[in-house]
Structures are given as structure tokens and as C-alpha cells.
A and B are shown apart, each in its own frame.
Chain A
Amino acid sequence: MTDPTAAEPDFAFDDEQLEFGRVVRQFLGRRSDQAEVRRLMATGTGHDPDVWKALALQLGVTGLAVPETFGGTGRGPLELVVVFEEFGRALACAPLLSTVGMAASLLTRLPADPAALRYLPGIVDGSVLGTVALGAGSEVDVPAAQAERSGSGWLLTGEATFVVDAHVADVVLLGAATAAGPTLFLAERGAAGLGATALDTLDPTRRLGRLRLRETPAAPVGEAGGARAHLAAVRDLAAVYLAAEQAGGAAFMLETVVEYAKHRVQFGRAIGSFQAVKHRCAEMLLLVESARSAAYHAGRAAADGSAELPALAALAKAYCSDAYVEVARASIQLLGGLGFTWEHPAHLHHRRALSSSALLGDPNQHRERLVRLLDGSHTEER
């Protein structure tokens, strides 16, 4: 990482990106309002396949960072940052992080591999859901399984947990140990010996699962021994998207609380006129805008293919995690008794904030990664 105080070009989204964000917000307002979120979080699959199809075919959300060769629009990670921020606001129940943020990101890195042509067009048109077993920590979980040759193919045995949307994924990508080192493999849903169970999660709006592989046939993807670098790169991208989602969720909670503070009257005054409330809201706004700046700039590093991406992804994931947790906690406090009820959306954001903070590595882990990247002692995957 270069001098952190060095000047960088100024950044703001262009008009087209802002307009796309508005379109996504309107769509989610229609198809994923709070009642719908609550309905879906109680279902087995946890999402609505029709809405997913519409997101893919009408809005092109699934193909934003997929090259045109594979049916996408090749716009890039910044447009996805816009989408994730909106999904975070709405707590939209959909396999966006798993299928688009992880599986599509990984396959897009391997354009020459047969798996890219085989699965990416399906991901783009909404017919294929995918996920990547990255592990729960900030360091990627490699290997998750043991790979054994069997005739011309491979059989995988092992277990991976905290896999996002494992219960609905049509294709699963994971690293497995081979003689050449950890290698990336892809297993299809329904393969022999492959079991996927949904975990009972703190956040019911995002599903996590456990994968069990017992001599499961799987195809190697990418170069032999190349899993670590690919998984680390996907971890970075997914961390940036998650950071954008966290910024969106925090922004929504702040807006909700500010509206409440303008109208809730106690002691003959709107509670928002009390400095104890005002100051807390101003502090939350600082967290929200700072989280946005972090997520946007990490997104820009991703879009530019910058060598700083690992450091900025760690920075953004750490900051946005803490910011969202703090904003959710402060929001519940300011909403008072109302904020502690099941009916109010605050607890759904609280749940999402707590679980997103832990997913893909908690803030402490990412800060440690950031410092290691800063002082050049980082010798992880790449």
C-alpha cells in the first residue's frame, strides 16, 4: 500500500451509475418491501426465484461484472457496488452475494476455462445459482477438502461451513488439496455424496449452509495448485460488495431514525431537538458517509484492477462492519422500546449487521491484514 496520505483523484459516481441505483431502489421497493422480506425469511429457500429472474433479465444485475462473451454487460465492480448498497438498504433476500459477488467473480477470472462458458451464461440469465466456499475468516479456507483421482476425474471428500446460499446453489466452487497444491474444483448440485444443509442463522435474511462432500465427483477449474490466489481475489471482491451492502443498511437505519426523531414527541418537543439525540444522529451520519467513501473507493480499486485492492478491501470491510453494527445499535437505542419490537425493521438490520461483520473475516482480522499489507510483511495467497 502506498503512502496513505498521498493525494488520489477525486471520485463520485457518474449520472448513469446514480440513475441505475435509483432504478434498483424502485425495483426493490416494488418487489422486496419489508412485508416481502419478512415473508421470504420464513421460507425454506429464503428467496423468490421470480424476483431473481427479473433482476437478471430486466435489470441485468447478474451480468454487470461478467464480460459480454458470456452474456454479461461487462460494466464492472463499481456498478455492483451500487447494487449491493441498494440491496443492503432493502435487506433484499436474494442470492446476490453468493452467485454474483462470489461465483460469477471467480468464473470471470478464468475466461479460458470450460467452466466459465458452461456456467456464466446461466448465472447471467438467472437460471443458475452458485457459491464459493471461502470460509468464515479473513484468510481463505484452503483446502476445504481432499481431492483424489478416480479414473479420468476427481473425487472430493471434506466439509465446508458458513457457505453462503449453499442450500440453493446449483454449482459450488471450493479449494481441495491435490499433489500439486490446493486446486479449485467445481461440484454440481445433486452430485453423488454432496450434501448441503442450511444453518440456523442469526440473520434469517441471508442463508448460510454446510457442505459435506463424500467422494463427490468434481471438475478441476483453473490451473493445478492455483486455488489460493483465485479464492483470495474473490474474497477481496466479496468483501468490497459486503462493505457496500453494509453502508446501504446503515444509511437506511439512519434515515429511519431521523424521520422518527423528527416526529416523536416527548416533554413537549420532538426528540430530535434534544442534543443527546442530535449528536448521536450526527455521529451516525459521519459513520454512514465514511462507510460509503470506503466502499466506493474499494470498489474503484476493484474496477481499476489496482494492486491496492487487497488492502482497501480489508480497510472497507473492517470499517463498514463496525459502522453498520454501531449505527444499528444506536438506532435501536434512539427508537427506544419501539426499536426492541419484532415488528420494527431495526432488529433485522441489527442481525444483518452482526452477521455481516463476522462473515468473510471480522474487523480485527481485516485490520491485521491491512497492517501486514502496509508494512510489506504480507505473504499470504498471492
Chain B
Amino acid sequence: MSVAEDLDRWLADHWDPELGLREWRAVLVDSGWARPAWPGEWWGMGLPPADAAEAQRVLAEAEVVGPPSTVAVNLVAPTILQHGSDLLRSTFLRPALVGDHAWTQLFSEPGAGSDLAGVTTRAERRAELPGDTWIVNGHKVWNSGAQDADHGLLLARTDWDVPKHRGLTCLVVDMRAAGVHVRPLPQMNGYATFSEVVLTDVRVPAEHVLGEVGGGWAVVNAMLANERSLGAGAGTVPVPGNVAGRCRREAAEEAARAARHFSWYPQRYGRADLVAAARSADPLVRQQIARVVTLARIAAWSAGRARANLRLGRVAGAEGSLAKLMTSELARAAAVAHAQLAGPDVLLGDTLTAEILLSVPAVSIAGGTDEIQKNIVAERVLGLPKDPTSDAHVPFRDVRRNGPAEPSGAELSGAELSGAEPSGAGS
């Protein structure tokens, strides 16, 4: 029997749009049809990717409610499945898929943005504490959804005596634990859809280490790869069109609640659609409208070329890796057009134009700055030599980093050893 027939039969027996949202998701997740490509022992069925895609198609066509499209489901769950211990898998996978747990990433820091491997949030193992515990101190920033999160996936430095990529560890932090302080971070566009998170002597049980101690960089990269594969739409939650039945209605409400954080997201891409529909008699404004339309069309065509070449089994060309730079350029060009089209109304604050102008700067920063992106394109696509680095092969404690005026190298090491490091750490 084909996968589609299997699933159709199962849906006929189990799917009921009048079930409560959580109740239905529990049935779906426990059956394995929520993630059929996952292993059988972890809420999957071990199906090959093509069959899983077929199942996904059947569910979508029948407008069956699935797991929520969240950080927890799209980013954290696959990472836990890939790198987590059995304890972490059994504790966190099912609640994520059902929609019981919300998650946030605790990666970036005020002092570590593009250079994420330079984080200085400190996790120290205190085996003498009850239950073998890590103590975390640090400051995270740009954490989307941290206000509502139950758990955070944290990147922390656990070894200062090895080069920066090797001294990192991923830990699962209970966002309700003592010492976790979440503050909304107001943005230049007036929204506060991200937070900063200050961690002060936060206790994390040793079994909540995700991956290897010292192996945090691999875990984070796996997660960022998941994020990139979701593309530019990640973070937005599609609201189902069909809301017939209690289950779909509750799913739509859940999605709408999540989406309220992201109402400004379309604006950061510049709203080329509005520019294309605009009319102006001013020849200079018309030039800019034409530029925006041109970039919008080309961005879509280049993405299409990348997809088509992939389908033809060809080596990925340059066009796909340039998509992010193109998105930035388009957004900037569109912002210029909006300002020109608004005329004197650009002076007003409470307009869509204002929201666009104040949201576009995000697009060339979030998810890898344009400058980092250009380095990647130049090195990986064009094959230009890497920059010599001064920090990759020395112990992290000797690397120059951000922060308040620091004492000189020798004093710094001494201060850290005597002041911040607990006795016995690293021994």
C-alpha cells in the first residue's frame, strides 16, 4: 500500500476537525505521521524523505492541522533529534511537536554578533552541587520570542584555554529558572519583538548539555543550517486559510498570536509590491520605481534558476548564495522609492512608509550581515583566499575581545583565574 493510501486510511479513522488543538496534535504526533521521516522510536516512522514529503502533501491537501511552525519545531527539535541524548529527546521532542513548549535561541551577545564563536557567557561545571550542575553567567541578545519561551538553547563558553571554536558547549536552559532575566529590546522601528536575556548564576543540570561538552559549535551550526534551509520566511507563521472546525480555529488563533510579533517582518524586505503598484509623474521617482521592479524580478528569477539547476541535479551555482545580498539591495532600493513617493509625508511617524524605512536596516544585519555574506561569497564561490585570522588558533582567554576597558593581558588572566573561576574548574 502506498504512503498516501496508508495515511488516508489513518486520517479517516482519526482526524476530526472538532477535536481540541492539543488533543488532536497528541494523536497525530503519537501516530508518527507528524514527522514520518524521524526514527520510529522518536515519534517518527523512519520513512525515506520522498515518502515523508508525500505524507506532508497529503496532510496539506486535506488541510489537516500539523505541528506549529515555530522555533521549537523547525529549529530546536531537529537539532535535539540529531545531537541530543535519549533523555533530552524523550523530554523535549514531543512537547515541542504538540505545541506545549516554546523555545528561544540564546546565541548572540552584545560582544559576539558576526563572530558568534566569540561568546563569553560562562558555564562552569559544579559537580559538587546536588545533581551535578552547571552555573551560567552572561548576557544574550536578539532573542526572538524569549518573553514567551519555556526553554532556551544556550551557547556558552566552558573552556577558556582552548581556541575559541573548541571551548563552547550547548545547554538547555529553563527560562523560568532563578537568575534568568528577560527584558524586551526596543528596536529602532518601535517594535520589541526580540529580547535580551541576562543570566545570573543560573543552574542547569548536567544532563541538559546538548551534544558534547566542548562540542557546542557543531550543534549551533546544525541549528543555523536548519534555519538557513527554511529561508527568508522563517519566523513568520502562516495562518491556515481553512478554519472550519474547532481544531483549525484554535490553530489559526495560535498562529495569529505568534504572528503578532512579526507584523513588521514584510516591511524589512522593503515592500517592493507597493512600489511596483505606485504611480508617479516625477521622472526621477519613476527611475527608482523601475529599479525596484527590476531588482524584484531579478531576485525571483535568480532564485528560480537555483531551484531549476538543483532539480536538474546540477552543482549549485553562484546564484543561490547571492540571494541574501540581493534581498538587501532590493530592500534598500525599495526604501529609497518609498521615501520619494511619500514626498513631504515622509516627515510623519505613524505611517507604513515610516515603518518600512525603519525596518529595512534589519535585513542586511539579521541572519548574517552583508559584509559577512560577501566574505562567504568571495571565499566559497569565487575561491578567493581567506583572511588571515589572529584568533582562531590561540587560547580564547588570550584573544582580544569586547567589553569595558580591560586590564592588560597578564592581569586579565590573573583576575579571571582568581576572581571568576571557581576553585577546581578545569581540573
A-to-B contact residues, CB < 8 Å:
1, 3-5, 7-12, 15, 258, 261-262, 269-270, 272-275, 277-279, 281-283, 285-286, 289-290, 292-294, 296-297, 312, 315, 318-319, 364, 367-368, 370-371, 374-375
Contacts and interface: CB of A to CB of B under 8 A. Distances in A.
A368 B308 contact: no
Contacts of A312: 297
B379 A12 contact: no
A297 B319 contact: no
Interface in B277-332: 279, 283, 286-287, 289-291, 293-298, 300-302, 304-305, 307-309, 311-312, 314, 317-319, 322, 325-326, 329
B385 A289 contact: no
Contacts of A318: 290, 294
26 contacts: A3-B273, A4-B272, A4-B297, A10-B304, A12-B314, A261-B384, A262-B383, A278-B374, A278-B375, A282-B373, A282-B378, A282-B382, A285-B318, A285-B382, A286-B377, A289-B318, A293-B305, A294-B297, A296-B305, A315-B294, A319-B294, A367-B286, A367-B294, A370-B293, A371-B286, A371-B293
Contact of B388 (A12, A269, A285, A319): A269
Contacts of B286: 367-368, 371
A281 B378 contact: yes
B298 A293 contact: yes
B60 to A, nearest CB: 17
Contact of A3 (B276, B314, B373): B276
A251 to B, nearest CB: 10
Interface in B349-393: 371, 373-375, 377-379, 381-388
B318 A4 contact: no
B324 to A, nearest CB: 10
B366 to A, nearest CB: 19
Contacts of B300: 5, 7-8
B287 A285 contact: no
B290 A12 contact: no
A282 to B, nearest CB: 4
A294 B294 contact: yes
A370 B385 CA distance: 41
A272 B384 contact: yes
Interface residues of B, number: 49
Given A272-B385, A285-B322, A371 B312 contact: no
Contact of B294 (A274, A370, A375): A370
Contact of A279 (B283, B295, B308, B371): B371
Of the listed residues B290, B304, B308, B384, the one surrounded by the most CB atoms of chain A closer than 10 A to its CB is B290
Contact of A12 (B308, B325, B329): B308
| Pairs of residues from A and B, 6 with the lowest C-beta to C-beta distance, nearest first | A367-B290, A10-B304, A12-B308, A272-B384, A278-B378, A282-B374
Determine chain B's interface SS by DSSP, over half rule.
helix
Contacts of B301: 8, 11, 293-294, 296-297
A269 B384 CA distance: 12
Contact of A290 (B283, B302, B382, B386): B302
Given A8-B300, A279-B374, A296-B305, A273 B276 contact: no
Given A286-B325, A286-B329, A294-B301, A11 B283 contact: no
Interface of B: 272-273, 276, 279, 283, 286-287, 289-291, 293-298, 300-302, 304-305, 307-309, 311-312, 314, 317-319, 322, 325-326, 329, 371, 373-375, 377-379, 381-388
Contacts of A279: 371, 374-375, 378
A154 to B, nearest CB: 39
Contacts of A293: 298, 301-302, 305, 319
B293 A374 contact: yes
Given A4-B296, A11-B305, A270-B385, A289 B276 contact: no
Contact of B276 (A4, A261, A315): A4
Contacts of B317: 289
A285 B381 contact: yes
Given A258-B382, A279-B375, A297-B301, 20 more contacts: A4-B273, A4-B276, A4-B293, A10-B305, A10-B307, A11-B308, A282-B374, A285-B381, A286-B326, A289-B302, A289-B319, A290-B326, A293-B302, A293-B305, A297-B297, A364-B287, A367-B294, A368-B286, A371-B290, A374-B289
Contacts of B293: 1, 4, 315, 370-371, 374
Nearest to A6: B300
Of the listed residues A9, A261, A286, A374, the one surrounded by the most CB atoms of chain B closer than 10 A to its CB is A286
A367 B291 contact: yes
A289 B322 contact: yes
Contacts of B272: 4-5
Nearest to B288: A367
Contacts of B309: 12
Of the listed residues B312, B326, B329, B374, the one surrounded by the most CB atoms of chain A closer than 10 A to its CB is B374
A5 B294 CA distance: 11
B308 A5 contact: no
Contacts of A12: 305, 308-309, 312, 314
Nearest to A374: B293
A46 B279 CA distance: 46
Contacts of A367: 286-287, 290-291, 294
A275 B375 contact: yes
Given A290-B298, A367-B290, A374 B384 contact: no
B312 A262 contact: no
Given A12-B309, A297-B297, A278 B379 contact: yes
Nearest to B379: A278
B290 to A, nearest CB: 4
Contacts of A315: 290, 293-294, 297
Contacts of B305: 10-12, 292-293, 296
Nearest to B283: A368
A278 B371 CA distance: 10
A12 B309 CA distance: 6
A368 B290 contact: yes
A374 B385 contact: no
